[in-house]
Amino acid sequence: MSERTMSDGKKIRIGYALRPRTSECLIKQSLLDHANNQGIQLVPIHATQPLIQQGPFDAIIHKLYDEEWNRMLTTFSAENPDVVIVDSPSAVEKLHNRVSMLEAVGRMNNRANTTTPVTIPEQVVVHDSILLSDLSVFQALKFPVIAKPLLANASSNSHQMSLVFNNNGLKELEAPVILQQFVNHGGVIFKVYVAGKHVKCVLRNSLPDISQEKLNNSTGNVMPFSQISNLCPNLSGEVEMPAKGLVEQVGQGLRQALNLNLFNFDLIRDSAHKDRYFVIDINYFPGYEKLPSYEALLTDFFKDLITNIHHAPFKGSSEPALFADAAEPAVLCQP
């Protein structure tokens, strides 16, 4: 396949392999039209058909996790080395485990030069349900804690999280599970979306702060997030957004540490220490359609793919195509 540019009069073809629900939400006519106006054609890929018989493509984006798709993608990339693959399945796989997911924050901090602390809450992995009887066994934690499934692989129970108030609540959990320290964060969360060098930060409701008095007077032992959502306060008044420089630094730092281009992460600010931030979750290929003007964000990312096509694409290894750019990353923070 010969290399094409956006100035030679030919449409750039971006193949997308997505689950039907994801495709329906993301690939709207507004995105198709915006991309087409920029010389980019978005082409559906049928995962049930041989990939080698489809195309031609200049780049492929995907969010499919089965082994057959991974094998098909590896074979296709080997035979079409000039096609950019976003992102490497082996890199994406690290986000399916909530331990390896957040290890990227530590790798980012080891390379970063920042005066604003960005870390993860204290957490422990419990592999044996017998240990789920007394939080004092885990000396770094205190109630309340958040209980999360170890796997974050889009299965039916991977998002079944709970807020645990006492030892009796621990006994209602099943291992393997991650216990993560709950951090009071003012009832708001900053969702940061990354698409290559482009970063967009938006404000969302989150869990309300829990004082020691509220904890002592709690009538329950454990509360699923599905019930907690009813307690989330409505956003009112002005909320101080994170500094643009901080959002840029964390977004691009995680991009390099994860070796991924399409993801978002949840960022919270400690209510007791306003200069302390925590990354609490990272998701691959999130719902960009929830963002205002997402069409421009993704189209600009697609243009970057082709502009930087001389960079080595994924060839069945753990290294995806990361696209360096001399210009400053575009960062938008908005409520």
Q: Which residues are annotated as a binding site for ATP?
A: 98, 148, 180-191, 206
HSE value, Cβ hemisphere, 13 Å, CA-based, for 246: 19
From the list 236, 271, 278, the residue with the least C-alpha distance to 105 is: 278
| Cis-peptide into 233, omega within 30 deg | no
Residue whose pair of structure tokens reads 């994801």 in the numeric block: 22
Single-letter residue type at 27: I
Which residues are documented as binding site for 1D-myo-inositol 1,3,4-trisphosphate? Answer: 63, 159, 191, 283, 287
Rounded to 10°, the helix 294-307/29-37 angle is: 40
Which residues are documented as binding site for Mg(2+)? Answer: 266, 281, 283
Alpha-carbon gap, residue 249 to 278, rounded angstroms: 14
Region for residue 82 given its phi and psi (left: phi exceeds 0; alpha: psi -120 to 50; beta: otherwise): alpha
Please list the alpha-helical segments (H only) found in the chain. 20-26, 29-37, 67-79, 89-93, 98-111, 167-170, 212-216, 225-228, 244-258, 294-307
HSE value, Cβ hemisphere, 13 Å, CA-based, for 18: 20
HSE value, Cβ hemisphere, 13 Å, CA-based, for 87: 23
Give the Å distances, CA to CA, from 85 to 13, 60, 133, 282. 13, 5, 46, 21
φ and ψ at 142, to 5 degrees?
Answer: -145, 155
Which residues are documented as binding site? Answer: 63, 98, 148, 159, 180-191, 206, 266, 281, 283, 287
